[in-house]
Structures are given as C-alpha cells and as structure tokens.
Chains A and B, each alone.
Chain A
Amino acid sequence: MIPNEPPITADLVDAHGIKPDEYQKILDLIGREPSFTELGIFSAMWNEHCSYKSSKRWLKTLPTTGPRVIQGPGENAGVVDIGDGQAVVFKMESHNHPSYIEPYQGAATGVGGILRDIFTMGARPIAAMNALRFGAPEHEKTRHLVSGVVAGVGGYGNSFGVPTVGGEVEFDARYNGNILVNAFAAGLADADKIFYSEAKGVGLPVVYLGAKTGRDGVGGATMASAEFGDDIDQKRPTVQVGDPFTEKRLLDACLELMQTGAVIAIQDMGAAGLTCSAVEMGAKGNLGIELDLDCVPVREENMTAYEMMLSESQERMLMVLHPEKESEARAVFEKWELDFATVGKTTDDLKFRVIWHGTEVANLPIKELGDEAPEYDRPWKVPARPVDEIELVGEHPGIADALLQMIGSPALSSRRWVYEQYDTLIQGNSLQTPGGDAGVVRVDGHPTKALAFSSDVTPRYCEADPFEGGKQAVAECWRNLTATGAEPLAATDNLNFGNPEKRQIMGQLVMAIKGIGEACEALDFPIVSGNVSLYNETNGVGILPTPTIAGVGLIPDHAQMARIGFAAEDQPILLAGALPNWGSHLGQSLYARKFFDRADGAPPPVDLEFERTVGDFVRTLIREGHVGACHDCSDGGLAIALAEMALAGNMGATIHDLDSTDASRAARFFGEDQARYVLTLNAPAGSPAFEVILKRAFDLGIHMSQIGTTGGQSLKLGEARAISLGELRTAHEGWFPTFMAAE
C-alpha cells in the first residue's frame, strides 16, 4: 500500500509471533494480503496478552458475578458496590518481562499502567499493592533486580500519590530468569459515575489526551527482521520510561473532565496503545473508528504509521467526546499542560481505518480484530498428585532454634527494607500499613467505613498441586481480609505461568483456574478483573505456577477492626479452625524445606466449607468487639504467626506445650494446615464471656481453645527456651537489609 513498507514475507509474519494458520485466518478474513501496518495491528490484537487466546476458554469458567458486582472482567478494571452509592474499582496486572529488562522503569510503568486502568473508569486511586517474585537470593542478578524494582514501584507510586498498603516479596530460584512484578491498584468512585470504554454515536470526535507518542516499546517483532537498513540502531525498540508527574496531571485532568459531562467513552493506552484502545472502543460500541495519524501528538521525527500504532508510550488516553463540549474539554487539558488532539471519529461502517500522510494504511473489520482472535483449546495434562503425607527423617532443630532460623530466613524475614521505600501514608487514610494481614484504608468522607486489601498465592503449593494451590491462593486472600474484620467482596487474578504450548504447563493453568473457580464459588468471592501472563520461561525452565489473587474487603466500622499485634497483657490466646491436634501438615512446608531439604508432598488441603464457617465466625467475633488481636496462620505455621503477633504488639506470650516429641511438636508449631486463625480475646480466660465464645465455636463445629496467654517480653513456645523479643526482632529484621547491603 505504501512504498516504504517492507513486503510481507513468511519470516516477517513469524517475527510478529503470528503462526502460519493464524496468518491464513487473516488472509481469509480480509481477502487480501495485509499491509505492514495491518500486520502489526493483527500481531498486537491477536497476541496472547491482548487476546487471551490460550486462557480464554478456561477464564470463562470463573465466577464473575454477584449481588455487589457492578462490572466484571472485560473493562479496564472490575467495579464492586460498597454501599452509600459508592464503588471500589480495582485490578491487578503483570509487568514481568519489562521489569527484568530494566527493573526501575519496568516496575514504574507497571504501576503507572494499573493506576491508569483505575482512573480511566472515573475512580480516584486510594490504594496500591505489589506482588514481587525474584530469583534465589544468591543469584547474581537478584539484588540488582530487587533494588531497581522496589525503587521503581516507589518512585512512581510515591510521586503519583497513592499509598502502597500491601503486597508480597518472595524469592525462588525458579524466578531467576523471569521475575514477576504484579501491580494492583484500587480506586473509589460514585457507583453511578463509572466510565466505560464502549463508544456510542456515529461521527463523534475521537480525542487523544496526555503525553506525546514516541517509539517506546515498539517492535520487538520488527527488530527480529533485519530489513530496516542502516538506521537499525535508531529504530531499536526503546524501553518505556514512566513519567509519574504527567500521570498525576492526567489523573487530575481526567477526573475534572469527567465532571463536565463531556466524556462518552474512555480507554487508556496500554499495551499496543493506540491500536488496542481504538479497536476496543469501537468494537464494544458496534462502531467503526477512523484515525488520522497526522493529528497524533508525537515527540519524535519521521514516525511511521506502524510505529505510531504499536507505540507503548505511557500516560496516554483515548476518549470519545460530546462534540459540543470539545472546547470545554480542551480547556481542562490545557490547564494541566497536557496534549489534547482530535485524532479521528466514530463511523458506522464497522471498519478500523488508519490514515497516514493522507493515505489509508489500514482498513480492517473492527469486530473481527477483537472477537475473531484465535482461541485455542490447548492440550493439557492433569499433573500427577503428590503423596499426601511426608515423613521427616532425621534430627529436628528444636522449636526455639527453628523459629529463629525461619523468621530470619529469606522467605519469612521482615519486608521493612522494601515497604519503607513506599509511601504508605499519603492521602491520610491508611489504617493498616504493610506488615499485617491486609492493608486497610478508610473510605474518605465516610465516618466509619474502610476497605481492606490483600494479595496472596503460595507458588510452591501450586507447583505440587495446581488445583489445591489455586484454591489455597483464594482462601488465603479471603482469610487475610477476614482477619481484619473485613467482609471479602471480590478479587482480581493475575495468572503467571510458563509456556502454555507445553501440556504440563497448560495443565497447571487449567487446574489452577479450576481451583480458583471452586474456591471463589464456595466463598462468594467473585473474580471481577484480571490478567494472564504466559511464556514466563528461560532456557526451557518455567517459573513456579503463580496465580496471584488480590482481594478487597469491606469493614463497615473501623472501630471494630482487628490488627495482628498482641494488644494487652494477660489475654488468652486461642487457635481457631485447627483440627484437634492443632497442626499436622508438613508437606510443602517451609519447615520441611529449610531443615530437611524436602520439597515434596502434597500442599495442605483447603476444606472450603470449613474455611467459610471458621472465617465467618472469626469475623463475627471481631465485629462484636471480642478480639484483641487476630492473625491467620500461613507460611511457617503457628509459631511464625505467634512471633509476628508478638513483634507487632511488642509483647511476649507463653504458649502451652502442644505435644510430646520433637517431630510432633514440629508439626504442631510449623505445620501449614489451612483455615486457622490465632486470636486473643478481651474476655479473661475462664470468664463467663470467654466460655460463651468457646461454646459458640463448639456449636459451629469449630475446634477453638486456648493455647496460651499474652504478656512479658519474650515468646515461650511450650518446653522450648524463651526467646526475648529483642532476639526475635534482630532475627526478623536482619536478613533483608544485610542482604541488600552487599549490593
């Protein structure tokens, strides 16, 4: 079509990641050879990231609706009703590969992208979280990546002005070549003022807003074909650079613009920016879109249509506006010193047409670009079930030494080094910051309401048994929200896996989604948004299957909210939800890994019905004001939960001897059985109020009884030697800063 375009060859098609049968589908669809620009557009729309072609079939099986769900998957973010005419808007998304290439900018633009997803819908961001997974601590790149990613997350979020209230940081050699950066954001909006991407009305202006377009992120595919001549270096795909200053202005300008009533539809430009956003707006609204690229604000010279359509420059938006309000809209953007340009219009021909230098360089059926994307039912294999029980042969280290070593290990040590680089307080509404079960932020303007946020997954469980691991990720997120007194409302899933063309990897994905679905169903915890990141492999080694679940819960009155720190002396400590033997499951436990080098066995099973019964009861107790402190048992089991409660409250505790042999004590204190909460009661042990609570638990079939008492300045676990809080704190706080100091 245009002279300077390279001819379409099999190599070029391949370099765009389009398979021969997919290319045939393109030929059938448009009845001719695509132009180079069109090939780029197809590669963007039909890649895994945009089309979910490997996962769509299975994602459809997830529960996505509920009485509070206003908007499920398919928009920029999910929307959930929180009463009083308000809604919480949230999503989690990965930025894995860019963060490995350039950790600071990769993580920063990941945060920027997810924030944009939230305010695109008309919500002001109020909280962020980050689930980060790095390679083994001893791997040569790990420190560099940790340092850059954490600084990038902070650099963008802090400057933008959103509190980072939670997240995860984990290390495992399986992430050596593929780190994971999963960024979550939530915002608050009026339930009747949510903005969507569906265009409405023919002949209306399509308006480009925000930063200018450069060659950022263009053309991994074009690089692979060497037909560009001598200027190849200048066309080398450039890393996207985030500009939180522009993003903050874009937020302020968008929210101001939305109040004018000018906005009909809005879509942020994320991956394959202009292409994806324009096609989605048109396809959803059953309209065509015509773009004139000569109107697009650019910051580089001689950009081709191909480059402009695939640019991933950050901090940009596309809108359809009411024409009579266009000048009002322009004034808002000029006030905030942002670009504003009418770049096209909606049409009634269901075509996606792109004009460049007066020539039509793309003319494609808009619906099919999205809807007719290839969808695969990839072959998959049910993973072998591991043996249920494992027996740890050899000498146990003793409870006190084991606790100190575990709480000072890479897996369980304090993440203070990380979260102190994040602004956890900005906006003045943070009630619980990182270090507890969930981050809690009060709802600005409401006297009592607050929202809780938690992000969870245990990849080693998912590796051993993806179905149980998927269930456990949902259950743990639900449990963490519950432990603050929140009612879990809904969740977002960020599914990180290896190469789906391998049957066992596809099997992990399928089984994890099945597990997630079953747990979400049983816990009334629908998935309202999400993201899939596949092909996380280096040299044929895939990451641990990592379906991150991030959930949101509602606290009606934050005066009745639980925290993890022991709150008062002489309070009875109870374990709720355990089997009568307190804890037993050491398969896939951190204890077995650390002291016996055993990574086998089944993960602890999750009984969803029981999970719900226990959680609902614990939440009721918190809301009734009976609970002094509450913490769920997860990684590292009961002993770690108790230690974290003691450190957070700066108060010791004495715990009964829960069994009689080293091996059985290890299972009691370090087993990772699910559905368990440690809580302290305000009612003194043995008092009538105390007995009534135990009776209520018994009547519900929940095993709950006293395992110890708070008080003092040391933690004594049964017969083991008492550990002073100072010694415990030194162990807990020491590892991370020491590790990073060697950078």
Chain B
Amino acid sequence: MKAQIKVTLKKGVLDPQGQAIEGALKSLGFEGVDSVRQGKVFDIELGETDPMQARNMLNQMCQKLLANTVIEDYTVALSE
C-alpha cells in the first residue's frame, strides 16, 4: 500500500519559517496571501496489505519518529 503522511505544526504554535516565506511571497508581488504555514510530507510504501494494520503502523511511525507530537500534528492518508 501507499501512504502519505502530512506533518504540520499544531494550531497556535509559532511557525517562523511560514512567516518568513509569507513575507517573501508578498515581496515577490503575490497579493492577498493571508497566511503560510510550512509542514512536511512523507510518501511511504508499505508491504502491509491490511488497511487497519497499515494505519496502525503509520500512526506509530508518526508518534515515534515522524512527528514531534509536542508541537506537531499529523494526518495519515492511505491509497491502493
């Protein structure tokens, strides 16, 4: 199966990178940018075929490694 995990900063956590990028977009002339927040995307291919098992494993990956759950949230999307 294929999975895509998105890790984003929790709501309310300061995102200095997003702010700096937002400023740069504005200075490049892109009007109307209200907010930019930066996150990470992980594309993962799994041998596991059972969606339940896969999701369980991916959640653990997020909690143990991919996300810093003190400041980040994550979402898991499965395909195939």
Contact check, A241 vs B12: say whether CB atoms are below 8 A apart.
no
Contact check, B14 vs A241: say whether CB atoms are below 8 A apart.
yes
Contact check, A245 vs B71: say whether CB atoms are below 8 A apart.
no
Contact check, A234 vs B16: say whether CB atoms are below 8 A apart.
no
User: Whose C-beta in chain B lies nearest to the C-beta of A303?
Assistant: B12
B13 at the interface (CB under 8 A from A): yes
A214 to B14, CA, bound (A): 7
Contact check, A238 vs B16: say whether CB atoms are below 8 A apart.
no
B39 at the interface (CB under 8 A from A): no
Given contacts A101-B70, A102-B70, contact A238 B12 (CB under 8 A): yes
> With a CB–CB cut-off of 8 A, which chain A residues contact B11?
234
Q: For B13, B15, B20, which residue has the most chain A Cβ atoms within 10 angstroms?
A: B13
> With a CB–CB cut-off of 8 A, which chain B residues contact A395?
none
A21 at the interface (CB under 8 A from B): no
> With a CB–CB cut-off of 8 A, which chain A residues contact B70?
101-102, 239
Contact check, A234 vs B12: say whether CB atoms are below 8 A apart.
yes
A299 to B18, CA, bound (A): 12
Within the complex, the shortest CB–CB distance from A531 to chain B, in Å, comes to: 24
Contact check, A300 vs B12: say whether CB atoms are below 8 A apart.
yes
The SS class assigned to the A binding surface is loop
Interface of chain A residues 293 through 315 with chain B (CB within 8 A) = 299-300, 313-314
Within the complex, the shortest CB–CB distance from B70 to chain A, in Å, comes to: 5
The SS class assigned to the B binding surface is loop
> With a CB–CB cut-off of 8 A, which chain B residues contact A299?
14
Q: How many A-B residue pairs have CB under 8 A?
A: 39
Within the complex, the shortest CB–CB distance from A372 to chain B, in Å, comes to: 34
B10 at the interface (CB under 8 A from A): yes
Contact check, A246 vs B10: say whether CB atoms are below 8 A apart.
no
Interface string of B1-33 (1 = CB under 8 A from A): 000000000111111100110010000000000
Residue in contact with A238 in the complex, picked from B19, B23, B68, B71, CB distance below 8 Å: B71
Task: Give the bracket for the number of chain B residues in contact with chain A.
Answer: 10 to 19
Contact check, B14 vs A243: say whether CB atoms are below 8 A apart.
yes
User: Whose C-beta in chain A lies nearest to the C-beta of B70?
Assistant: A102
Q: For A234, A238, A299, A314, which residue has the most chain B Cβ atoms within 10 angstroms?
A: A238
Q: For B14, B15, B20, B68, which residue has the most chain A Cβ atoms within 10 angstroms?
A: B14
> With a CB–CB cut-off of 8 A, which chain B residues contact A101?
70
Within the complex, the shortest CB–CB distance from B65 to chain A, in Å, comes to: 11
Given contacts A101-B70, A102-B70, contact A245 B16 (CB under 8 A): yes
Within the complex, the shortest CB–CB distance from A211 to chain B, in Å, comes to: 8
User: Whose C-beta in chain A lies nearest to the C-beta of B9?
Assistant: A241
Contact check, B16 vs A246: say whether CB atoms are below 8 A apart.
yes
Interface of chain B residues 34 through 80 with chain A (CB within 8 A) = 68, 70-71
A238 to B23, CA, bound (A): 24
> With a CB–CB cut-off of 8 A, which chain A residues contact B19?
243
> With a CB–CB cut-off of 8 A, which chain B residues contact A102?
68, 70-71
Contact check, A239 vs B13: say whether CB atoms are below 8 A apart.
yes
Within the complex, the shortest CB–CB distance from A530 to chain B, in Å, comes to: 29
Given contacts A105-B71, A238-B71, contact A313 B14 (CB under 8 A): yes
Contact check, B12 vs A239: say whether CB atoms are below 8 A apart.
no
A716 at the interface (CB under 8 A from B): no
A558 at the interface (CB under 8 A from B): no
A211 to B68, CA, bound (A): 24
Within the complex, the shortest CB–CB distance from A690 to chain B, in Å, comes to: 59
Which 9 pairs from chain A and chain B are nearest by CB?
A243-B16, A241-B14, A102-B70, A215-B12, A238-B12, A238-B13, A239-B71, A239-B70, A300-B12
B interface, CB within 8 angstroms of A: 10-16, 19-20, 23, 68, 70-71
A interface, CB within 8 angstroms of B: 101-102, 105, 211, 214-216, 234, 238-241, 243, 245-246, 299-300, 313-314, 337
- 25 A-B interface contacts by CB (under 8 A): A101-B70, A102-B68, A102-B71, A105-B71, A211-B14, A214-B13, A214-B14, A215-B12, A216-B12, A216-B13, A238-B10, A239-B13, A239-B70, A239-B71, A240-B14, A241-B13, A241-B15, A241-B16, A243-B14, A245-B16, A245-B20, A246-B16, A299-B14, A300-B12, A337-B23
